[in-house]
Amino acid sequence: MSKTKAERRHLDLVSSLGCVACRNLGYGPTPAEIHHLRTGRGMAQRAKHTEVLPLCPPHHRASYPTGFHANPRGWQAQHGTELELLKQTLSDLEKLTELFV
């Protein structure tokens, strides 16, 4: 799936928010990379580019024991579900973009 200009802008804004898990833990916004939601999707389906979360590498990658992909179930029990965090991310994004209107 190729990205449109609007999707690319959305991804930039999402990653500029900083890691959602770190912010919820009170660590402040740490530099984030993009996690595409897996919830409710089969292996063949790719998540939409708007269904993304900002996560720092230690909260994202399978190579870290604290990473989402190391243990999606345990991770969501600790940090909240993908859908809860997506809701939070979208409302954070709304506040952020209002500043630039």
Residues that bind Zn ion (CB under 5 A): 19, 21-22, 35, 56, 59
Instruction: Provide, rounded to whole angstroms, the least separation between the CB of residue 2 and Zn ion.
Output: 19
- Nearer residue to Zn ion within complex by CB, 28 or 100: 28
Helix, coil or strand: residue 100: coil
Instruction: Provide, rounded to whole angstroms, the least separation between the CB of residue 21 and Zn ion.
Output: 4
- Nearer residue to Zn ion within complex by CB, 29 or 93: 29
